[in-house]
Amino acid sequence: MTSKNPGTYTNIKIDDNNRFLYMFYAYGSSIAGWNHCRPVIAVDATFLKSKYRGVLMISVSKDANNQIFPLAFGIAESENNNSYEWYFSQLRNAIGSRENLIFLSDRHQAIANGIVKVYPESHHGICIYHLEQNLKRRKVKSEVIKLFQSAARVYRRKEFDIYMSDIANVDKKTYDYLMEEPSERWARSCSPRRRYDMLTTNIVESMNSVLLEARELPILRMMDFIQVKLQDWFYERRNKAEGIFYDVSCWVEEELKKRIDLAFTLNVFPVDSWRSRVEEEGIIFLVDLNKRTCDCFQFQLDELPCIHAIAAIKKRNIKKSDFCSHCKRMIKLLHIFDFMLSLLHQMQNLSMYLDVGYNRRKRGVSRTTEATPNNSSNSRNK
């Protein structure tokens, strides 16, 4: 893999008896493209269903067009403290760290332990979908679940406090349950790092669902499947991206378009060359285009102009795309896809290695890359 893919990082850990323990790999194209993604990594694992069982660990980010960007894969006998600590240490070797890095996952304790140990400078946020599922299991009323959803999603801390006090008034038990989990880990307004629109881990779960049928395959065949899948995706995305003439990605353009009509109804009062007061339904929001901030907090937390910022930008007759995060620029998106396509051109199918593996096995050479039988619990505590 590494000889055919420049920059690819792989590692295998074996035990004292020379038996397979863990495996990790990140394609060179993922490593190169990562710096053009948002500094957000969603982590999840899925059970393998081939003869030797085990789990497939996946890390993904989001690209400039708001699409899944696969970062790294790992295989272990189960999700536990040792396997995650090794996985994250390999991830760190492969892609390093980034400023304002945030990990997102379900509430599996081994993931949290691994992140704290290997990436102490990062923040670890949890998926609000999993938290919501826990509330439903606790038979919490739908009215309270709606309040929780609002509390998790709002941009301003003041609004979060209002929703939480509403929950406390209606259902004190659920309020206490929610407060057991620090709000920095699940509420957007309390997170010390930007979560953008990633309040759930559904991007990594949708990746899992794409790889569903691959879970039945022996490990090398599964890797082959993943590789082909990644090639298809990035080939399609590159072609799509090339046909777009906006100077921001099509996702960003769509997001801005949705806000323009509403932005045009707002009153704008310029304060100085960068700052404006923008009135929405009698409430004044201060927008600072230089600092890229707004009192509504959406501008700074999503790194996309909110309706108030769009109104302020429009008043000054400047391009709104200049105020989108540099990560979202189309040119960088194309740059990422070029790296991905280099994978397509440079990589030889892993089947080549598979055939070698099969022939070796036929000759009675010992297996070195299959997972050991899984003797751990099959249930995940999320």
Of 89 and 150, which has the nearer Cβ to Zn ion? 150
Of 296 and 330, which has the nearer Cβ to Zn ion? 296
Under the binding rule (CB under 5 A), the answer on residue 294 touching Zn ion is: yes
Q: Choose which of 23, 144, 306, 371 interacts with Zn ion (CB under 5 A).
A: 306
Q: How far is the CB of 350 from Zn ion (least distance, A)?
A: 49
Q: How far is the CB of 315 from Zn ion (least distance, A)?
A: 14
Q: How far is the CB of 153 from Zn ion (least distance, A)?
A: 15
Closest CA to 274 of 283, 262, 286: 286
> Please, where are the H alpha helices in 264-306?
298-302
Q: How far is the CB of 312 from Zn ion (least distance, A)?
A: 9
Burial 96-126 (b: 16+ CB within 10 A, else e): eebeebbbbbbbbebbbbbbeebbeebbbbb
Under the binding rule (CB under 5 A), the answer on residue 256 touching Zn ion is: no
Q: How far apart are CA 362 and CA 251, in angstroms?
A: 50
Q: Evaluate whether 104 touches 195 at the Cβ level (below 8 Å).
A: yes
Of 64 and 306, which has the nearer Cβ to Zn ion? 306
Q: How far is the CB of 310 from Zn ion (least distance, A)?
A: 9
Under the binding rule (CB under 5 A), the answer on residue 330 touching Zn ion is: no
State the sign of the Cα–Cα–Cα–Cα dihedral 173, 175, 181, 186.
Answer: positive
DSSP 39-89: SEEEEEEEE--STT--EEEEEEEE-TTS-EEEEEEEEESS-SHHHHHHHHH
Please state the φ and ψ torsions of residue 64, each to the nearest 5 degrees.
Answer: -65, -20
Under the binding rule (CB under 5 A), the answer on residue 151 touching Zn ion is: no
Only one of the segments 43-51, 71-79, 242-250, 300-308 lies at the binding site for Zn ion (rule: CB under 5 A); that segment is 300-308
Q: Quick one: DSSP state of residue 318? A: -
Q: How far is the CB of 252 from Zn ion (least distance, A)?
A: 17
Q: How far apart are CA 264 and CA 311, in angstroms?
A: 6
Of 37 and 294, which has the nearer Cβ to Zn ion? 294
Q: Choose which of 127, 296, 313, 347 interacts with Zn ion (CB under 5 A).
A: 296
Please state the φ and ψ torsions of residue 218, each to the nearest 5 degrees.
Answer: -60, 160
Identify residue 299 by its one-letter amino acid code.
F
Residue 189, SS3? helix
Residues touching Zn ion, count (CB under 5 A)? 5
Q: How far is the CB of 259 from Zn ion (least distance, A)?
A: 10
Under the binding rule (CB under 5 A), the answer on residue 102 touching Zn ion is: no
Only one of the segments 89-97, 113-121, 256-264, 294-302 lies at the binding site for Zn ion (rule: CB under 5 A); that segment is 294-302
Residue with tokens 């999503």: 302
Q: How far is the CB of 297 from Zn ion (least distance, A)?
A: 7
Of 1 and 268, which has the nearer Cβ to Zn ion? 268
Under the binding rule (CB under 5 A), the answer on residue 308 touching Zn ion is: yes
Under the binding rule (CB under 5 A), the answer on residue 301 touching Zn ion is: no
Residues that bind Zn ion (CB under 5 A): 285, 294, 296, 306, 308
